[in-house]
Structure 1
C-alpha cells in the first residue's frame, strides 16, 4: 500500500527547510569569496619581518607576529594573531621546524586558503651534523648572508604573485636595493673573519645555530652546550663533560651564547672544563628593539661578526 502525505504537510516541511537553505547558500558563497577578502602579509619571525618590510616598503601592510627578543622555538600566537594568519593574503615563515609553537597555526591558515612561503625550504638548506637533531634540516639559514640575499628574491617574487594591488616594479627595485646591502654585509664579514687565524676558527655556542655561518666562512663547530638545534632541549651531565673535553682539546677561547638566553649553561660548561673561557653574547635567534644592538638584520649580522672576531682573537 502506498501512503501519500497531505499537501499541507509537504508544504510545511518545505517551508521549514527554506530558512536552512537560505542560511547554507550564503555560507557556501562566503567560503568561495573569502579569498577576495584576504589582505596584507603576515610574517612569523622578526628577522624575516625585517627582510619582508625592506622588500615591501609601503606597498602593502606587513604584520610581524614575534616581538623583539622573542625565541622562535618557544613562541606561541594569541587568538588574535591566529586570526591574522588565517586572513592574510601571504604568510611568510621560516619553516624547517623553527617555529615550533606556531606551525600548527600556519598549517591551519594554509588549509583555509592562505598562501604560505616557507623561506628556509627555498634557500638550499643544510642538515645538522651532530647532536640529537643530526640529519634534520637546519632552519638557521640567516647566519649566512648569501642565503639571505636569495631569500630576499624569494619574498619579492611571492609578494608580486600573491598580494593584490602592489607595484611589481617598486617591489623589484626595493628587493634589488636591499639585496645589495645584504651582499655588502657578506663582503664585510668575509674581510673581518679573514683576521682570525686558522687554528682559532672554532665555534662553541649555547645550541646548534651557526652551521650556515661555519660552512660559508670556513669555521669548525666544536659543539654546543645544548646538543640540539632548539633552545627547548636540555643538556645532560655527560653532554657537558663531552663538550668540555672537546673545548679543552681544541683550545677554544670563547663560548658564544644567544643574547636572549641566559648564559648559565655556557658558564657551567666552562667551569666543568676547568678553563678560563669568555662567554660572549650573540644575537642569533631574534632581533632586538631599537637601541638594543640588533634592531635590523644588517645590524645583527655586523654585531655578531664583531663579537666573533673579538672573542676568537682577543
Structure 2
C-alpha cells in the first residue's frame, strides 16, 4: 500500500508559516510561566513559619571583639553584622543612619553595655525600647569596678581580657540565638560548645605563659584602664594608667603624669603598654618622665585589626597580647 506523501512545509514568510511560528512562541511562553509558577510554589513560605525569602536571620553586634565571638557561635545559621570597624575605638566610634536602621530590623542585638559604646548609646536605647531581642554582655559577666581613684565605683567594661568571663557571654548569646526563628538550634549549640573549648584552652595558655614572669615584675601600666579583669584572673598588680578614668576620651594632667612616673620608677617595671588603636605619644612622654629605661610595647586591647595586622580574631588578639606582655615584663 502506498503511503500518501506528507504535505510540504509552508515556505518561510508564507501566512501559514507565520501562524505556526506564533503558535510555537505562545506554547513556549506558557511553558515558562508554568515553570515559574511551580518554582514559586516550591520556594514559598516554609512550614516552620520563616520568611521563605532564603535570607538568614539578622544579628547585629556593636563591637568587633563581640562580633567575632558571635560569628563563631552563629556559624552559617545567621548573618552577623558588626557595626564597629577594625582598629576603631569602642568609646568613640559612630555609625551611619543606614547602620542605625539595621538595629531596628535585627532579630537579635548583641552589645557590651557597661558604658562602653559611648558614641552609640542613643541608637541602642532606641532599638532596645522597641521589640528588639538583645543580649547585653555586661549583664551576664561578673562585673568588676575600676580600681583607680579617678574611676572608682564605675563598672569596668573590658571583661574580654579574661577568657573565662567570655564563656559567660557565649552562654548568653547561645541561649538567645537558638530561639531566633529559622536558626538550627542544634548547630548553634554545637558551635557554642566548640568555642567554649577554645576559650578554656586560651585561658590555660595564658596562665602558663604569665606564670613564667618573675613575681616582682608582674605589674601593668597601660595607656588607659583596660586590664582589671586580666590582672585579677592572672595575679598582676595594676600600677596605673596614663589616661585617667575608664575611657580613652579623657586626658591626664601634668601632676597625674608625674605621680604615675614616680610609681613606675618605684615598681621598677621594664615595660609599659599602649593600645594599638590609640597614639602612644602620652605613653612615650610618661616613659621619659619616669627617668628610667622603660620600653613601650603595643597591645591590641580595645579593637580587632584588619586581617594580617596581628589581631583579626579574639583568640589571635589574646594570644598576641599574652606573648607581648610576657616578653615585655620578663626582660
TM-score of the two chains, using structure 1 as the length reference: 0.87
**Residue in structure 1 matching 2:168, options 147, 150, 160:** 150
Structure 1 vs Structure 2 CA RMSD: 1.3
Partner of 1:111: 129
Partner of 2:115: 97
Partner of 2:209: 192
1:291 and 2:304 aligned:
no
Partner of 2:64: 46
Return 5+ residue gaps in structure 2 as ranges.
1-50
Partner of 1:23: none
- How far is 1:39 from its partner? 4.7
1:207 and 2:224 aligned:
yes
Deviates more, 1:283-292 or 1:118-127: 118-127
Partner of 1:33: none
Partner of 2:43: none
1:175 and 2:170 aligned:
no
User: Runs of 4 or more off by more than 4 Å in structure 1?
Assistant: 36-39
Deviates more, 1:149-158 or 1:219-228: 149-158
**d(CA) in 2 for partners of 1:118, 1:202:** 31
- For the Cα contact (< 8 Å) 2:57–2:77, is it kept in 1? no
- For the Cα contact (< 8 Å) 1:43–1:92, is it kept in 2? yes
- For the Cα contact (< 8 Å) 1:203–1:220, is it kept in 2? yes
- For the Cα contact (< 8 Å) 2:224–2:245, is it kept in 1? yes
Give secondary structure in 1 for the equivalent of 2:263: helix
TM-score of the two chains, using structure 2 as the length reference: 0.82
Residues 229-283 of structure 1, C-alpha deviations (whole Å, 9 max, x = no match): 1100100001100100100111011110001111100110111111111000000
Give secondary structure in 2 for the equivalent of 1:279: strand
**d(CA) in 1 for partners of 2:148, 2:288:** 23
Computing the radius of gyration over CA atoms, which structure comes out larger, 1 or 2? 2
Residues 50-91 of structure 1, C-alpha deviations (whole Å, 9 max, x = no match): 000000001011110011101000001110111001111111
- Aligned 1:76-87 pairs, distance under 5 A: 76-87=94-105
Partner of 2:283: 266
Q: Which has the higher helix share?
A: 1
Partner of 1:29: none
Return 5+ residue gaps in structure 1 as ranges.
1-35
- How far is 1:98 from its partner? 0.4
Corresponding pairs, count: 278
Give secondary structure in 2 for the equivalent of 1:307: helix
**Residue in structure 2 matching 1:231, options 248, 257, 262:** 248
**d(CA) in 1 for partners of 2:287, 2:149:** 19
